[in-house]
């Protein structure tokens, strides 16, 4: 059976971070499948006006009017229509806006709460990790059987072979926002006596770092990963943590937060630290250096488990099941 799928690609106009990587990875892996007729849906671009229009009109109302054209409507964030004439799937990347609302802008907090109320009406929810599935069950009140885990994949550019950036440094990757915990990472790098480089979009919340590289292409990012002594991803909250996998696939040790999604994704192949303890993060940097010969091959093996083709199969199977 050929399934007509309305597939939301609006995140591609909003960000270059994890959500956009998820959309691009799935689109590429799903392209050309004979059992699917994939119809990308998008609205607006970047900027405040486009964001307001998308959140207030496009997702709750605009998509409803188009839903009769499809067999399944897949919204690639937790925002979706209030009603639809076909089964709706929502992807939940994380629920940080509920766990840590104080670190988000007022508009995002307001509209996210309303959108998440609508998630209870979805036919199915895709969660990118077991951690995020458990968060959805607890915080949204959805039944576990309605949630399907579809992990992210690793882009082919992130491999251990290729050019490396020069210098002696540790690397942090992420938008400059409060929950990335970059202030403590900066202090930890100082304690460890090593330069910290940070790659990511400017973001919000007054976060500042001494050596901000800014945005980087995938090729530039891969070179920065390979050249780093280790990658530090000590975020306070994540639903997945793509930089953990990208770093491992690039052949570099990882230091990441214990007790959440990044520990799950690391799969025992990273140094785990308390993200609230600067001394622990600094100690993790030193430990990653000492254990490099052990951590690198374990990380490469762990990263190979996450592919976009596997993610695409899981999503396509879910669409067929809903019919």
Whether the predicted pLDDT of 66 surpasses 80: no
Let me know whether 121 and 10 are in one domain: yes
Q: How much is the pLDDT for 206?
A: 67
Residue 158 lies in a domain: no
- Tens of pLDDT along 118-135? 676 789 999 999 999 999
Give the residue with greater pLDDT, 177 vs 171.
171
Let me know whether 62 and 45 are in one domain: yes
Q: Please report which confidence band the pLDDT of residue 15 belongs to, taking 50, 70 and 90 as the band edges.
A: low
Report residue 9 as tokens: 């690609």
Let me know whether 24 and 42 are in one domain: yes
Q: Please report which confidence band the pLDDT of residue 107 belongs to, taking 50, 70 and 90 as the band edges.
A: low
For residues 269-287, average pLDDT: 98
Residue 203 lies in a domain: yes
Let me know whether 199 and 149 are in one domain: no
Whether the predicted pLDDT of 191 surpasses 70: yes
Let me know whether 205 and 289 are in one domain: yes
**Domain total of the chain:** 2
CATH, residue 289: 3.40.50.2000
Let me know whether 128 and 255 are in one domain: no
Whole-angstrom CA distances from 245 to 123, 133, 254 are 30, 19, 9
For residues 49-60, average pLDDT: 79
Let me know whether 289 and 316 are in one domain: no
Let me know whether 149 and 15 are in one domain: yes
Mean pLDDT, all residues of the chain: 91
Q: How much is the pLDDT for 209?
A: 85
Q: What is the pTM of this model?
A: 0.91
CA distance 32 to 143: 33
Let me know whether 14 and 116 are in one domain: yes
Let me know whether 222 and 261 are in one domain: yes
Q: How much is the pLDDT for 205?
A: 66
Task: For the chain, give the percent of residues with pLDDT over 70.
Answer: 96
Residue 267: domain span: 169-303
Whether the predicted pLDDT of 29 surpasses 90: yes
For residues 99-113, average pLDDT: 75
- Tens of pLDDT along 236-275? 999 999 999 999 999 999 999 999 999 999 999 999 999 9
Residue 32 lies in a domain: yes
Residue 164 lies in a domain: no
Let me know whether 220 and 266 are in one domain: yes
Let me know whether 299 and 311 are in one domain: no
Q: Please report which confidence band the pLDDT of residue 116 belongs to, taking 50, 70 and 90 as the band edges.
A: confident
């Amino acid at each position: 059976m050929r399934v007509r799928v309305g597939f939301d690609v609006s995140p591609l106009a909003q960000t270059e971070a994890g959500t956009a990587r998820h959309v691009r990875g799935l689109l590429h892996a799903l392209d050309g499948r004979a059992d699917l007729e994939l119809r990308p849906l998008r609205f607006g671009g970047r900027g405040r006006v486009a964001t307001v229009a998308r959140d207030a009109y496009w997702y709750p109302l605009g998509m409803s009017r188009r839903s009769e054209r499809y067999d399944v409507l897949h919204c690639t964030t937790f925002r979706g229509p209030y009603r639809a004439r076909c089964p709706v799937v929502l992807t939940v990347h994380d629920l940080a806006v509920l766990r840590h609302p104080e670190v988000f802008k007022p508009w995002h907090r307001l509209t996210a709460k309303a959108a998440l109320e609508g998630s209870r009406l979805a036919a199915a929810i895709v969660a990118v990790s077991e951690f995020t599935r458990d968060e959805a069950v607890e915080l949204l009140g959805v039944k576990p059987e309605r949630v399907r885990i579809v992990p992210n994949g690793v882009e082919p550019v992130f491999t251990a072979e290729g050019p490396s950036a020069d210098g002696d440094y540790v690397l942090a990757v992420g938008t400059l926002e409060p929950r990335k915990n970059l202030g403590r990472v900066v202090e930890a790098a100082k304690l460890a006596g090593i330069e910290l480089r940070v790659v990511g979009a400017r973001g919000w919340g007054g976060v500042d770092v001494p050596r901000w590289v800014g945005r980087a292409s995938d090729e530039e990012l891969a070179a920065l990963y390979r050249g780093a002594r280790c990658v530090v991803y000590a975020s306070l909250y994540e639903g997945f943590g793509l930089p953990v996998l990208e770093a491992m696939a690039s052949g570099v040790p990882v230091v990441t937060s214990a007790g959440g999604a990044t520990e799950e994704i690391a799969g025992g192949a990273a140094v785990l630290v308390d993200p609230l303890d600067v001394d622990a993060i600094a100690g993790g940097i030193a430990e990653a250096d000492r254990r490099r010969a052990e951590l690198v091959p374990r990380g490469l093996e762990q990263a190979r488990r996450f592919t976009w083709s596997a993610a695409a199969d899981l999503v396509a199977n879910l669409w067929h099941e809903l019919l």
